[in-house]
């Protein structure tokens, strides 16, 4: 770490007396015509140092408007009385300004801080730090005893993932003599309750003509809610992408189901056409078998008549009788064959009828599936639109 802890002196009871002694020395110097004399504020408390700075400002003002000569001509007693009166007025005004600043600072929820740099050295052990009460309140602390005006009060609470970066950036900002190194930064600090909170800090540096830093001051405010919102938006965006992918996959499945249903419908139509042709062919065969049956009956009758005529002819008609008998056998065989064909055709017709009925039933199911698929597809699109709408509302909240 490039900073060192400054040994801050505890408030001493003699600080006010020392300050008054310095004020008397300043008045004596002014009486003697030394308008450049200034109160030295080393080794006293913050309050005493602020009073000393204010008195020095008054001395500057008096020097500017030629009041030094008037003070030089005034009697000593009057000068002491005037100094006491000026001191009290100054103290009252300082208290008023301090109270106003603390109230405004608390209302703004912005923590203020100040760093006085010794010899332009960011690592000087006597560098002076100051944290405002609101700065402490933002981290859950209420007094200087809990959160003293030293670097470690702040740096020790930096998150381990941020500490090296933040200290490096602060050092770069102070040591960059051009003043072009940016300061604004975001980091996490550990709250008194043990939880880390996000803060955004900004600052400005006063430098001498050579760019050496003399004083750095800045502000800090809590952005935890903002960071949490950003994280929720990021999480929601990831979930939205995953949801959209799932919706896309579901839509693809629905499309595949629709395509399969359409293909099945085409196959069903072809099967129905084949079944109808089979029914027509069976009907044609039945017509043919009916004709064969009729011819067989006539042939059988012809054979019977021939047999009768052969019997009448006696010995001479015996050969013709054999032929008539063969004709009758052929007619009987034809009749048997026709019966078998009819039986098979009836079975084929029953099968084609069952197939046709199943196809009709399948058609009903396909139509119902197609309707459900369309409904699912419409629902998917509606859900996706609703989710995108919700996502937009959350991002704009």
Residue 312 shares a structural domain with residue 194: no
pLDDT-derived band at 225 (thresholds 50, 70, 90) equals very high
Q: Are 324 and 247 in contact (CB under 8 A)?
A: no
pLDDT at 71: 42
182: CATH: 3.30.450.20
pLDDT at 63: 54
pLDDT at 324: 66
Residue 382 shares a structural domain with residue 349: yes
Residue 253 shares a structural domain with residue 202: no
More confident residue, 192 or 254: 192
Assess whether pLDDT exceeds 80 at residue 130: yes
Residue 392 shares a structural domain with residue 254: yes
Residue 243 shares a structural domain with residue 355: yes
pLDDT digits (tens, 9 = 90+) for 360-388: 777 776 777 777 777 777 777 777 777 77
pLDDT at 251: 74
Residue 204 shares a structural domain with residue 234: no
Assess whether pLDDT exceeds 80 at residue 207: yes
Using a pLDDT cut of 90, give the percent of the chain over it.
15
Residue 269 shares a structural domain with residue 168: no
Residue 285 shares a structural domain with residue 378: yes
Residue 345 domain-assigned (yes or no): yes
CA distance 395 to 356: 58
More confident residue, 4 or 212: 212
pLDDT at 45: 57
- Characterise 115 by phi-psi region: left (phi > 0), alpha (psi -120 to 50), beta (else): beta
Residue 249 domain-assigned (yes or no): yes
More confident residue, 68 or 298: 298
CA distance 84 to 63: 19
Residues of the domain holding 101: 83-211
Question: What does the chain come to in residues?
Answer: 397
pLDDT-derived band at 70 (thresholds 50, 70, 90) equals very low
pLDDT at 274: 74
Report in angstroms the alpha-carbon separations of 246 from 124, 232, 251, 269, 379: 60, 20, 8, 34, 14
More confident residue, 205 or 253: 205
Residue 105 shares a structural domain with residue 247: no
pLDDT at 12: 41
CA distance 258 to 250: 12
Residue 21 domain-assigned (yes or no): no
Assess whether pLDDT exceeds 90 at residue 145: yes
Assess whether pLDDT exceeds 80 at residue 67: no
Q: Span 55-73, mean pLDDT?
A: 50
SS3 letters for 108-164? HCCEEEEEECCCCCCCCCCCEEEECHHHHHHCCCCCCCCCCCCHHHHHCCECCCCHH
Assess whether pLDDT exceeds 90 at residue 147: yes
User: How many Cβ atoms are within 10 Å of 239's Cβ, its own excluded?
Assistant: 12
pLDDT-derived band at 80 (thresholds 50, 70, 90) equals low
Range ranked top by mean pLDDT from 53-57, 176-180, 306-310: 176-180
Number of domains within the chain: 2
Assess whether pLDDT exceeds 50 at residue 327: yes
Using a pLDDT cut of 70, give the percent of the chain over it.
64
pLDDT-derived band at 13 (thresholds 50, 70, 90) equals very low
Considering Cα of 49, then 53, then 58, then 63, what sign does the dihedral take?
positive
pLDDT-derived band at 10 (thresholds 50, 70, 90) equals very low
Residue 60 domain-assigned (yes or no): no
Assess whether pLDDT exceeds 70 at residue 127: yes
Assess whether pLDDT exceeds 80 at residue 205: yes
Q: Are 275 and 342 in contact (CB under 8 A)?
A: no
pLDDT at 140: 95
Q: Span 88-106, mean pLDDT?
A: 71
Asked which of 73-77, 168-172, 243-247, 314-318 is least confident by mean pLDDT, the reply is 73-77
SS3 letters for 163-190? HHHHHHHHHHHHHCCCCCCCCCEEEEEE
Residue 293 shares a structural domain with residue 358: yes
pLDDT-derived band at 41 (thresholds 50, 70, 90) equals low
236: CATH: 1.10.287.950
pLDDT-derived band at 89 (thresholds 50, 70, 90) equals confident
Residue 158 shares a structural domain with residue 251: no
pLDDT at 36: 63
pLDDT at 77: 45
Residue 42 domain-assigned (yes or no): no
Residue 287 shares a structural domain with residue 373: yes
pLDDT at 272: 73
pLDDT digits (tens, 9 = 90+) for 152-164: 999 999 999 999 9
């Amino acid at each position: 770490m490039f900073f060192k802890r400054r040994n801050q002196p505890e408030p001493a009871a003699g600080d006010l007396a020392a300050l008054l002694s310095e004020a008397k020395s300043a008045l004596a110097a002014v009486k003697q015509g030394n308008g450049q004399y200034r109160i030295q504020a080393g080794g006293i408390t913050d309050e005493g140092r602020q009073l000393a700075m204010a008195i020095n400002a008054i001395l500057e003002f008096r020097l500017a408007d030629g009041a030094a000569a008037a003070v030089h001509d005034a009697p000593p007693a009057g000068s002491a009385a005037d100094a006491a009166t000026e001191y009290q007025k100054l103290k009252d005004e300082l208290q008023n300004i301090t109270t106003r600043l603390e109230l405004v600072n608390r209302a703004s929820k912005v923590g203020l801080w100040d760093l006085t740099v010794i010899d332009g050295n960011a690592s000087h052990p006597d560098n002076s730090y100051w944290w405002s009460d609101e700065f402490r309140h933002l981290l859950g602390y209420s007094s200087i005893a809990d959160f003293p005006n030293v670097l470690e009060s702040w740096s020790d609470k930096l998150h381990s993932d941020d500490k090296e970066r933040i200290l490096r950036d602060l050092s770069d900002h102070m040591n960059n003599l051009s003043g072009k190194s940016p300061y604004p930064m975001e980091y996490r600090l550990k709250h008194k309750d043990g939880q880390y909170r996000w803060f955004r800090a900004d600052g400005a540096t006063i430098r001498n003509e050579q760019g050496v830093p003399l004083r750095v001051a800045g502000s800090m405010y809590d952005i935890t809610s903002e960071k949490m919102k950003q994280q929720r938006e990021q999480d929601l965006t990831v979930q939205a992408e995953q949801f959209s992918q799932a919706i896309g996959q579901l839509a693809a499945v629905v499309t595949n189901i629709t395509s399969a249903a359409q293909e099945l419908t085409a196959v069903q139509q072809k099967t129905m056409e084949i079944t109808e042709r089979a029914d027509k062919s069976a009907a044609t065969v039945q017509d043919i078998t009916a004709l064969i049956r009729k011819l067989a009956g006539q042939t059988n009758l012809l054979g019977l008549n021939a047999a009768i005529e052969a019997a009448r002819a006696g010995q001479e008609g015996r050969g013709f009788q054999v032929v008539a008998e063969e004709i009758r056998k052929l007619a009987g065989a034809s009749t048997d064959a026709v019966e078998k064909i009819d039986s098979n055709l009836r079975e084929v017709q029953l099968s084609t009828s069952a197939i046709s009925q199943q196809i009709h039933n399948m058609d009903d199911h396909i139509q119902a599936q197609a309707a459900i698929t369309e409904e699912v597809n419409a629902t998917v699109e509606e859900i996706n639109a609703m989710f995108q709408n919700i996502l937009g509302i959350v991002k704009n909240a």
